Structures are given as C-alpha cells and as structure tokens.
C-alpha cells in the first residue's frame, strides 16, 4: 500500500535531520519531493503488507482446538478457515 508522509522543518538543517531520521526507518524504496522554500518534503513510500504472504494458520487469531489441524476458526470473525487460506488484513503475527 502506498503511503505519504509530510515532513515540515523549521529551517533547512532541521528539515534535513527530520527527513534523514524518517528515511532511516524505511525498508522500502521511497520518492521524495522537495519544497525548500517552504521547508517541506513529501515522502511517498510503499509499506510491506505481511498478511499478503501469510496464511491463516500462522495468525495468532487462528484457533485449531479441534481434532484435526486441517480446519480452524478465526477468533476475530468466527469463520471456519482451512489451514491453507490466505491471511486477511486483520492478520496478527504469532511472534508479536
């Protein structure tokens, strides 16, 4: 998903520090548009959507208390899910 971040600085050195601090937190490619007269930088970046490459059975909301691990229930929606179903946007990592 494409995200946008507006970074406003009080002066050019402050803007530079703020932009560098924000860019150091990103793990994806970004596009920066600079407006130095207004001490403004607009950063467009792509966020990693972990759920798109995950399965329901890898989610902390997966409940497989039945006898077979082929099916389980989503504790959030109450829906019956197969172990191979793709995760939804409500995906929560087991490790988190």
Residue extents of the structural domains in the chain: 2-46, 50-82
* CB-based contact 89:54 (threshold 8 Å): no
Q: How many whole angstroms separate alpha carbon 9 and alpha carbon 45?
A: 19
Q: Looking at residue 8, what is its pLDDT?
A: 95
pLDDT in tens, 29-79: 889 999 988 999 999 988 766 667 788 777 777 787 766 667 888 888 888
Lowest-pLDDT range, 19-23, 35-39, 40-44, 81-85? 81-85
């Amino acid at each position: 998903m494409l995200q946008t971040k507006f970074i406003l600085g009080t002066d050019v050195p402050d803007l530079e520090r703020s932009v560098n601090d924000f860019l150091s937190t990103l793990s994806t490619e970004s596009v920066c548009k600079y407006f130095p007269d207004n001490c403004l930088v607009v950063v467009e970046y792509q966020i990693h959507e972990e759920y798109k490459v995950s399965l329901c059975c890898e989610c902390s909301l997966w409940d497989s208390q039945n006898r077979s691990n082929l099916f389980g229930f989503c504790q959030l929606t109450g829906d019956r899910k197969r172990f191979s179903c793709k995760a939804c946007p409500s995906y929560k990592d087991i490790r988190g």
